[in-house]
Amino acid sequence: MANQIILVTGGARSGKSTYAEQRAGELGSRRLYLATAEAKDEEMALRIAEHQKRRGSEWVTIEEPIELADVLLARRNQIDCAVVDCLTLWLSNLLIRSDKNYVEEKVETLINVLPPLGFSRRFSHQRGRLGHRAG
């Protein structure tokens, strides 16, 4: 994986996933789509199916609601790029299932997997701290 992080943000159904998939197509052909959503109701099942259909067979898709760092580390030298969809759902999954210490450990582990890119790394840490203090 390249030492580059592109953060795509926006509201629900604003086109974040489509945009991220297009950008990933520019970064290489070995693409990983790491999906954190779980089909716990019919609406979410339909959204997941739409995403899968749109991506087609050009992607390796792994559905993992919790262990993002493990998946990224395991695939690190096998992919050109990864799209993680979505960090907000991932954090929600953690909070629903786990205690505070477990959540903090998982967040810190994921942050440490990300490439050490100076400003991007500092931004990521500070954004997390801001969210923690604001909550």
Q: What is the pLDDT of residues 34-61, one digit of tens each?
A: 999 898 899 989 988 998 898 888 899 9
Average pLDDT, the chain: 81
For 38-47, 74-83, 116-125, which range has the lowest pLDDT when averaged over its residues? 116-125
CB 81, CB 1: distance < 8 Å:
yes
Which among 86, 91, 30 is positioned nearest to 58, based on CA atoms?
30
Active-site pick, 34, 37, 51, 68: 51
Q: Global pTM?
A: 0.72
Q: Is 125 a catalytic residue?
A: no
Residues 6 or more apart in contact with residue 71 via CB below 8 angstroms: 32, 34, 62, 64
pLDDT at 61: 92
pLDDT at 2: 46
pLDDT at 63: 93
pLDDT at 117: 45
Q: Which two tokens stand for residue 10?
A: 């926006």
